[in-house]
Amino acid sequence: MASFILREGIELIGVEAATGTAVIWCGLHDIDWEGRQCDTGYWVRKSAQGQGFATEATNALVRYAFGALGMRRIGLTHSGGNEASRRIAERLGFSFEGIQRGANILPGGECADRFCYARLDIAGLPDLEVQW
């Protein structure tokens, strides 16, 4: 709530209507209003993975960020070994920019490489097929 009030981030939580259980978190964070850039990320409850929630929610947020918010660049990162996040980044047309070695601290304190991607516009984004 504080990051939203301070205009530093926008976070959305998708809740399964039947159970009231949160199944997806997706957000825009580290918003730089002067530079018109931010990062995006997502988390999906294990029981809801593989159903397209992260792809769909991130697609919608990317469109919102470039359209309504006027962003010029959106970054996306994932830890090495997170193949599901890699597939989402590629499916949404984010361009691979490089690897930051040992930059992500995982639960338990282990370090992982951070894989970095970015988009500069919505050209080539897959159609948004909202199924909510």
* Full set of structural domains in the chain with CATH: 2-119 (3.40.630.30)
Q: What is the CA 90 to chain-centroid distance, rounded?
A: 12
CA geometry: angle 56, 79, 89, nearest 5 deg: 30
Sheet hosting strand 37-44, strand order edge to edge = 10-15, 22-32, 37-44, 73-79, 111-119, 95-105
Work out the angle between the directed axes of helices 83-91 and 53-67 (0-180°, nearest 10). Answer: 50
- Which pLDDT tens digits describe the chain residue by residue (132 residues)? 556 566 677 888 989 888 899 999 999 999 999 999 999 999 999 999 998 889 999 999 999 999 999 999 999 999 999 999 999 999 999 999 999 999 999 889 999 999 999 999 999 999 987 655
